[in-house]
Amino acid sequence: MNCRSEVLEVSVEGRQVDEAMLALLHTILLHRSTGKFHYKKEGTYSIGTVGTQDIDCDYIDFSFVRVSSDELDRVIRKAVGEFKDAMGNGTDGMGQISLEFYQKKKSRWPFSDECIPWEVWSIKVNVVNLANEQERQICREKVGEKLGEKVINIVEVINQHEYLPKMPTQSEVDNVFDTSLKDVQPYLYKITFQITDTLGTSVSTTMRRLIKDTLAL
């Protein structure tokens, strides 16, 4: 099974990074979360209800819908916050935050469980610095429009109805879904990011070069 990979690119101002990332990540997770499963003795299960809520952005002319789950929101905000800190405040730069949905495959001892991604969303962020308030106002609107386009892109991909993990039995549910939350149940996911400095090189590349140069001396 090939992992489906989608890339979204946005250019934002420094203070818009949080909201832009939250908007896109929550839109994806809205489609990749279900209600809590409740298994019954005869092998059937029932599914809880997913609520939704509108969120207005403060620095972008944009509103988005997310799953009504404060727990999930906290987890996503934490990841986005770390990404933003890594990007640095108020400086130009590029970075990429990835939301990866995966399945766990049990392995025998001593091998650890394998994580097999089945869908990866990569959001490339280009942070720009703006000189004055007028540019910021224009940026508010432009970024709002761009995010709208990205939401449409996300919906287009999701509604192609490509691979989705099969609904698991009760014993397998933790291999497919994140059952740690109390109110909703997203597919197993992880968020990673990498930062590119202004020179266009990633931090890892720079470190590798430094080490090589050191060894060469």
Binding site for another protein (CB under 8 A): 27, 30-31, 34-36, 38, 40, 43-56, 61, 63-65, 67-69, 148, 151-152, 154-156, 158-159, 161, 167, 182-184
Least Å distance, CB 141 to another protein, is 10
Least Å distance, CB 145 to another protein, is 9
Angle at 75 between CA 46 and CA 115, to 5 degrees: 70
- Residue 205, C-beta contacts closer than 8 angstroms, at least 6 positions apart: none
Nearest to another protein of 51, 81 (CB atom): 51
Tokens of 10: 């946005």
Least Å distance, CB 176 to another protein, is 12
Q: How far apart are CA 25 and CA 206, in angstroms?
A: 28
Nearest to another protein of 9, 71 (CB atom): 71
Q: How many CA atoms lie within 13 A of 160 on its CB side?
A: 10
Least Å distance, CB 216 to another protein, is 52
Tokens of 150: 């990205």
Q: How far apart are CA 157 and CA 28, in angstroms?
A: 10
Nearest to another protein of 20, 127 (CB atom): 20
Least Å distance, CB 45 to another protein, is 7
Nearest to another protein of 87, 147 (CB atom): 147
- Please check whether residue 2 is in contact with residue 120, taking contact to mean a CB–CB distance below 8 angstroms: no
Phi/psi-derived region of residue 200, left when phi > 0, alpha when psi is between -120 and 50, beta in every other case: left
- Residue 134, C-beta contacts closer than 8 angstroms, at least 6 positions apart: none
Least Å distance, CB 172 to another protein, is 12
- Please check whether residue 147 is in contact with residue 62, taking contact to mean a CB–CB distance below 8 angstroms: yes
Nearest to another protein of 95, 119 (CB atom): 119
Nearest to another protein of 118, 193 (CB atom): 118
Q: How many whole angstroms from its chain centre is CA 138?
A: 26
